[in-house]
Amino acid sequence: MAKYIHSMIRVLDEARSVAFYETAFGLRVAERLDFPDFTLIYLSNDEAATELELTVNKGRTEPYDLGDGYGHVAFSVDDVDAEHARLTAAGLSPRKLVDFAPGGQVIARFFFVTDPDGYQIEVLQRGGRYA
C-alpha cells in the first residue's frame, strides 16, 4: 500500500511563504535542503504526518502561472469560525464562510484563503468526511 507523504508547490519568496504557512496553519520547517539551483523546504505540524514541500527555484523573479489545472490544498480545523476570525485578524484576507448544502443538508462548512503565490487553500470544519 502506498503512503501519501507530501504535496509540492513552487514559490518565489521562501521567507514570505514560510511565514504565511506558519501564521495560517501552524506549519514549521521540518527540513530545508539547499541545492545550487533550487531549495526544498518541508513544512509540517503535529496534526498530520503529511508535509507541504515548498520549492524555490533560485534566480526566478516572475510569478508562476498556476494555469487552469491547479485546484487547492485543504486543511481541517476544529473551529472554522474561530480560524476565519484569526486569519482575518492576521491580515490574511480569507474569503467568506460557506455552508455547502446540496439538497438542503450541510455537508461541509469552509472558506478559502490565498497564499502569497496565489495558491488556493480550503479550510474546512473538522468532522465527518473531513475529520
Instruction: State the pTM of this model.
Output: 0.88
Cell numbers standing for residue 106: 450541510
What's residue 15's pLDDT? Answer: 98
CATH number of the domain where residue 21 is located: 3.10.180.10
Tally of domains in the chain: 2
Instruction: Specify if 127 maps to a domain.
Output: yes
Picking from 58, 83, 99, the residue at the C-terminal end of a domain is 58
Helix, strand, or coil (residue 100): strand
Query: pLDDT tens digit string along 74-128?
Result: 999 999 999 999 999 999 999 999 999 888 888 899 999 999 999 999 999 998 8
Instruction: Specify if 104 maps to a domain.
Output: yes
Specify whether 21 is located in the same domain as 52.
yes
Boundaries of domain holding 119: 71-131
Is the pLDDT at 2 greater than 80, yes or no? no
- Annotated active-site residue 14? The verdict is no
Query: pLDDT tens digit string along 23-61?
Result: 999 999 999 999 999 999 999 999 988 999 999 999 999
Instruction: Specify if 64 maps to a domain.
Output: no
* Active-site option among 47, 53, 83, 122: 122
Rounded to an integer, the average pLDDT of 6-33 is: 97
SS in 3 state form for 35-95? CCCEEEEEEECCCCCCEEEEEEECCCCCCCCCCCCCCCEEEEECCHHHHHHHHHHCCCCCC
Picking from 10, 37, 58, the residue at the C-terminal end of a domain is 58
Give me the phi and psi of 125, to 5 degrees please: -65, 130
Specify whether 52 is located in the same domain as 87.
no
Provide the CA 72 distance to its chain's centre, in angstroms.
8
What is d(CA 115, CA 113) in angstroms, rounded to the nearest whole number? Answer: 7
